[in-house]
Chain A
Amino acid sequence: MDMVAQVFSMVTDWGSIVGLFVGVVGGMVIGALPGFSASMGVALLIPVTYGMSPVAGLIMLVSVYTSAIYGGSITATLCHTPGTPASAATAIDGYKLTQQGRGMEAVGVCTVASAIGGAVGALALLFLSPPLGRFSLQFSSLEYFMLAIFGVTIIASLAGESVVKGLFSGILGLFLGTIGLDAITGAPRFTFGSIQLEDGIQFVPALIGMFSISQVMIIAEDIYKGRSTIIADEAEMQGRILPPWNEFKTLLPTIARSSVVGTIIGIIPAAGAGVSSWVCYSMGKKFSKHPELFGNGSFEGVASSESGNNAATGGALVPLITLGLPGSAVAAILLGGMLMHGLVPGASMFTEKAAVTYTIIVGFLLANILMGIIGLLIARYVAHVSTIPMGILGPVVVALSTIGTYAIRNNMFDVYVMLGFGALGYLLRKTGFATAPLVLGMVLGEIVENNWRRALILSRGNMFNYFLNRPISLVLLVLVVLSVFSPILMNYVNKKSREGAKS
């Protein structure tokens, strides 16, 4: 009880409240800009926290983390410009909804799903951290590999019209992931002697090219076909922030499932919000009563990827706080921020420093709620982006994407990558190759290869035994098998039942 009072007084301290607000709003703005991702937001704000108390400073940093992930989905939904890699899945359905005049509702669903997902992740962090931290140690190279393979099996479900072409996109994405220095031997692969390619094709510039630049090219085409705004007819713009209750009700199971799955994926060090949003998206599709709507404007699609990626932020903090082991780029930066404030993450976070830890976690929970409230308040206004003439929106998106891409590493080469992928993305989209599998392939490529080769070393030459001794790998293997064969099985069952109905 003493603890609760202590936490309450620290959380309601002025410094913490200011940190919370600045963090949430700043994170939303940074996340919404293409190229400026959560890790950049956190890194940029670390110096700002110098003068703050540790509690206020860290509340601000974790708030930026979660709300930057959310902010990315606003631009993804309204302009097909995913601000962060985690919101690429949202762009697919969100933008379709915007075109149908339901952009405001899509933003509303994004907001609610993000807030709920984030809150679930925060609650897990609050109540289950120590056991979840130990759980995260059960994962190693083999499990990362199996998880990534599970991700690969999703590719087919994102394929769009042509399964063959969709698969090709996915494998092309995996292949593009092999460019750069081989992580195991350090030898350069397909770099053509360029030092810029040694780190591989940077994912965010490629993503921005494929989504934003190609979209602007399509916008140009549309304008010359006589359209002027994203939504077909301005009168069609719906004035609701959330879909009608009977429609929204059906989203709740999706949000709940994605929140839990997202939290678990977030805990796994190699995965993170990007993988989580795609896995949740495809699970949403598998469980949906209307899978045909996925890719054509499905609220379920938006809800599943959004709650998935924000739930992953809470999960990603688990290994950091309990073990001091940062599993992702953002977590590594947060570790720096914690050390700077004299907080050493690890077991002591839940013993001697428990009050501070719980305050930060409660702050994180409040940040998710605040983000939801602010999001709903501004949804009405931001949704009007879709009524701005495309002739203005297009050039602005290009200019923002360019500076955002440059800003990631202060490197012009990334801008060239963006350009190249812009043209590639346009050609792929026009010739019937879905871009979603390509993005997912690029996310997974490195995880698959490096961890397989690491697992081979870790198995000490006896992969079969090693596999049998790792229960989580076996579970994941079952999931992979199910994921591959369930469509076939479902087809069979459906056929049988139809035959049954006929006779």
Chain B
Amino acid sequence: MKKFLCAILVVSCLVSGAFAADWPTKPITLICGYGAGGSSDLGCRYLAAALEKQLGVPVVVENRPGSGSWVAWNRFLHNTPADGYTFALVNLSAIFGHYDESNPRKETIDDFVLLANQAIDYQVIAIRPDETRFTDYKSLLEYAKTHELLVAAASTGITSGEASVAKMMEKVHGAKVVVVPVSGASETNTMFISGNVDFLIANVGDVILNPENYKNVVVFAPKRVAQLPDVPTEVELGLGNYLSFSARGYAYMKGVAPEIVEKMTAALSAAIVDPECVENMNKMGVNVELYSGKEYSDLLHSQLKQRLDTWDVKE
């Protein structure tokens, strides 16, 4: 039975290859591994609307939440026909899952065919505006050498952007940082605002919504970000060259006909910079940055290398 169905899948791939020239002829499904109504889902929905304009066929968002999108990716990579009619939202978890110490995934970044990146959100360190023990990034690091500081992080280990920054502070600067694992970005924020942890590692998108709550001391971007023009980068401060961000983009599974990949990449690239889509994303505090094809792959590999170095993990 299994063999027979595999054969069907293979045949359907071949057939779809033959018809790649007139792709798309039917609705396209975008798999979103997060629940309806969340920020990832809304991003997908805005993109789907813009992509419909490009491709001329309906683009349907299908939510399959579970295990930080891995339920969706698993099904997408292994059990979905590679006919070009299904693509998925990918973020950095898809890359780091393989290196997760406590729960490693079989899949690596190379199992996805990366199409285009929609959003990049750099990480910042913020302290409370009334903080007296330290006032900037340098004094924070200095203080942390002698005093243990608490910081909240969504999940632990290499998969977590926050925990990785904390690890870097420890490794490069000798700071003593203890990570409190919580369930998500809003909870890290709550922990910080309520004074339960000493400082905050967050994304730019989180700290620009209510700026009065945060004094941002450093941003881990290659150059200053437009939303926070007064916040220096780590390079500028001369304290290191750590880069950290979260990225959200779209991918196919392997086996999709190259012509389709090309067409889809072009359509996605156009949809991502669609003015209406960009405006909606900005409203959510998300910074749109388009990378496609090889550039996109390089971007993710650079972040992968950075974190593998930080955690001393071999590729």
Which residues on A are within 8 Å of B, measured CB to CB? 39-40, 42-44, 46-47, 137-141, 181-188, 195-196, 198-199, 269, 319, 323-327, 329, 332-333, 335-337, 339-340, 342, 344-348, 409-411, 450, 454, 457-458, 460
Residue of B156, B197, B213, B283 touching A184 (CB-CB under 8 A): B156
Chain A residues with CB under 8 A of B38: 332-333, 336
The reply to whether B63 and A409 form a contact with Cβ atoms under 8 Å apart is yes
Given contacts A43-B41, A138-B194, contact A457 B178 (CB under 8 A): yes
**Which of B39, B66, B189 gathers the greatest number of chain A CB atoms within 10 Å?**
B66
CA of A340 to CA of B282 in the docked complex: distance in angstroms? 9
The reply to whether A325 and B39 form a contact with Cβ atoms under 8 Å apart is no
**Per-residue CB proximity of B82-123 to A under 8 Å, as 1/0?**
000000000000000000101100000000000000000000
The reply to whether A458 and B36 form a contact with Cβ atoms under 8 Å apart is no
**Per-residue CB proximity of B180-197 to A under 8 Å, as 1/0?**
111100110111011111
Question: Is B212 in contact with chain A by the CB < 8 A criterion?
Answer: yes
Residue of A43, A269, A336 touching B284 (CB-CB under 8 A): A336
17 example contacts (A-B, Cβ-Cβ < 8 A) are as follows A137-B193, A141-B196, A186-B157, A187-B103, A195-B74, A269-B190, A323-B190, A333-B35, A336-B38, A336-B39, A336-B42, A342-B283, A409-B65, A409-B71, A411-B64, A457-B180, A458-B196
The reply to whether A340 and B102 form a contact with Cβ atoms under 8 Å apart is no
Residue of A40, A137, A269, A324 touching B210 (CB-CB under 8 A): A324
Given contacts A44-B36, A47-B45, contact A340 B283 (CB under 8 A): yes
The reply to whether A325 and B156 form a contact with Cβ atoms under 8 Å apart is no
Given contacts A43-B37, A138-B194, contact A410 B64 (CB under 8 A): yes
Chain A residues with CB under 8 A of B63: 409-410
Question: Is B155 in contact with chain A by the CB < 8 A criterion?
Answer: yes
Question: Is B67 in contact with chain A by the CB < 8 A criterion?
Answer: yes
CA of A490 to CA of B156 in the docked complex: distance in angstroms? 47
Given contacts A195-B67, A325-B193, A411-B66, contact A336 B183 (CB under 8 A): no
Chain B residues with CB under 8 A of A326: 186
Cβ-closest chain B residue relative to A333: B37
Question: Is B150 in contact with chain A by the CB < 8 A criterion?
Answer: yes
Question: Is B62 in contact with chain A by the CB < 8 A criterion?
Answer: yes
**Per-residue CB proximity of B129-157 to A under 8 Å, as 1/0?**
00000000000000000001010000111
CA of A14 to CA of B63 in the docked complex: distance in angstroms? 33
CA of A344 to CA of B212 in the docked complex: distance in angstroms? 13
The reply to whether B66 and A196 form a contact with Cβ atoms under 8 Å apart is yes
Question: Is B296 in contact with chain A by the CB < 8 A criterion?
Answer: no
Cβ-closest chain B residue relative to A457: B180
CA of A335 to CA of B38 in the docked complex: distance in angstroms? 9
The reply to whether A195 and B186 form a contact with Cβ atoms under 8 Å apart is no
Q: Which residues in window 50-88 of B have CB below 8 A to A?
A: 62-67, 70-71, 74
Cβ-closest chain B residue relative to A319: B190
